[in-house]
Chains A and B, each alone.
Chain A
C-alpha cells in the first residue's frame, strides 16, 4: 500500500517568506509526528497529533512554527517569516495506534532558506 508522502520534496525560500509543508500519512493511522533533521543529526521531535488533536507541540522551536491536522488525516507544517536557521529536512511520520510506536516516515521536505 501507499506509504507516507510529503510535498514538496524540496523548497527554497527567501528569508522572511512563509512556507507550508504537507504530509499525507498512511490511511487509517491515528498518530502523526513532525520532526526536524539537521545535517548529520538524528530527527528531533517537533509536534504530535492523535487524529485531529495536537497533543504535544513542545518541540516547535518558536511561535513562527504552526502545525495542523484538521480532519485527522493530512497535516500541514507552516513556518512563518523563515530564518536561515530553519534550513533542515522536515520529516513526517505516522503510526497506526495512539501509542506512537512503529512510526513510518515519509521522504521528507528539504527546506533551504537563503
Chain B
C-alpha cells in the first residue's frame, strides 16, 4: 500500500467552478501537510502548508486536514484557466516526505 493515495484524474472543469482535490494517507505519524502546483516542465510550487487538523484559507485556496480520517483536501474557488496544472499533495514528519502522484486539472474558459 502506498503511503499517499491521490486520484490522478484528469479533472476538467469550467472557469469559475469550485474544484476539490483530495488525498488519503496511511501513516498516522504524519504531521505536516502541503499542497503543490506543478506546471509542465517546471518544479513544484508550494501553495499551502498546514500542520494540524482543520481548515486554512489563502485567497481562493482552502486546505483541509482531517487526521482522524487520514484525509486531506484542497479547494479552489472561482477557478481560472491559469489554475490548469498538476496538483500534488505531500505529507510527512521528520526528515521524510511523501508525495501523491498528482491530479491533472484543466480549467476550460
Contact = CB atoms under 8 A, between A and B. Distances in A.
A6 B43 CA distance: 10
B3 to A, nearest CB: 10
B45 A105 contact: yes
Interface residues of B, number: 26
A102 interface: yes
Contacts of B32: 99-101
B101 interface: yes
Chain A contact residues (Cβ within 8 angstroms of B): what range?
A: 20 to 34
A7 interface: no
A106 to B, nearest CB: 5
B101 A40 contact: yes
B32 to A, nearest CB: 4
Interface stretch (B11-19, B58-66, B77-85, B89-97): B89-97
A40 B6 CA distance: 12
Given A41-B101, A42-B100, A42-B101, A100 B95 contact: yes
Contact of A56 (B8, B42, B95): B95
Contacts of A45: 96-98
A103 B97 contact: yes
Contacts, number: 65
Contacts of B99: 35, 42-44
A65 interface: no
Contacts of B6: 42
B102 A103 contact: no
Interface in A76-112: 91, 99-108, 110
Contact of A101 (B34, B45, B88): B34
Contacts of A99: 32
Contacts of A4: 43
5 contacts: A42-B4, A43-B90, A48-B95, A100-B94, A101-B51
Interface of B: 4, 6, 8, 32, 34, 36, 41-46, 49, 51, 88, 90, 92, 94-102
